[in-house]
Amino acid sequence: MAWLFDLVPPDYRAHEVLRRYPVLLARFARDHVAAGLEAARAGWRTVRVELADELPADAMEAAIAAYEREGARLAFAARGVEAVAGALRGERWVPRL
């Protein structure tokens, strides 16, 4: 549960229902991570156009790299949330070969 709470905004810790029902916390985490992933993808697609006149080339490349790293981190987290949510629902984990 601590890892799931780390994935959502800190204010979510104030909701007793999320502590009482970990499967609900997993749902909140899934939704939050998915929204963050979509935002990172949208930022990656649009940053060159929207900030072309405001950032030097090296800053633009660093911004794109940051979006790529954040997207990869969130995609990895999304897979983890799905695995944890499945375990909370009693699903059996089968490794992919």
Q: Where are the domains of the chain?
A: 23-88
pTM flag (> 0.85) = yes
pLDDT in tens, 46-66: 999 999 999 999 999 999 999
Dihedral sign of CA atoms 2, 34, 73, 40 in order: negative
Token reading at 57: 């080339």
Better-scored residue on pLDDT, 4 or 94: 4
Dihedrals phi, psi of 93, to nearest 5 degrees: -85, 130
d(CA 63, CA 58): 9
Structure tokens at 29: 């985490």
The one-letter amino acid code at 75 reads: A
Q: What is the pLDDT at residue 92?
A: 85
